[in-house]
Structure formats: C-alpha cells, structure tokens
Amino acid sequence: MLGISLDTQERNRKFAAQTGASFPLLSDTDKRVAKAYGVLNFTHLFANRVTFVIDKNGIIQYIEEGADAVDPSGAGQACELPGKR
C-alpha cells in the first residue's frame, strides 16, 4: 500500500507523523499521476480523494471515492475479497 499526494515530501512527512500512517507517501507535485488516474480537479487544482486497489497485473480491482477513501482499511478489505489476492 502507498499513498500519493500533490503535497511536497515535507508535507507528506508531517501528515504521516500526525496521522500515524505506516505506508509510503509519494509526492505528485507535477500532478502527472493525478491526471493519469482522472482524479485531478482542474477547477481548483487539487486531487479528489480516491483509493485504488491495483492487482499484480496492473488491473484496477476496486475504487473507493470521497471521504471513505481517506481510511485505507477499505482498500485492505477489498484485497481480502475472494479472487483479489
């Protein structure tokens, strides 16, 4: 599991410390990943909160959007679904 944010590495480090995040947080300051996954809000230039579960073949198996996407437990539960390992 990893997180990707438009924030700088320093802001991601502070966020991880504040929230106790134990997974890597990557910085997408050029917004390339957010654009590629269709989550960049062009009006306000921020990324919508979305969780993707991507299998070992690079296929998106699960998407969680909105406030629930902040909690990574939904992604963990999706990984436990039959046939999703």
Per-residue pLDDT tens for 45-67?
788 888 888 888 988 888 888 77
* pTM for the model: 0.71
Closest Cα to residue 27, out of 38, 15, 42? 15
Backbone angles phi, psi at 64, to 5 degrees: -120, 125
pLDDT > 70? residue 72: no
How far apart, in Å, are the Cα atoms of 62 and each of 49, 50, 73?
A: 14, 10, 13
Report helix, strand or coil for 1. Answer: coil
How far is 1 from 54, CA to CA, in rounded Å?
A: 10
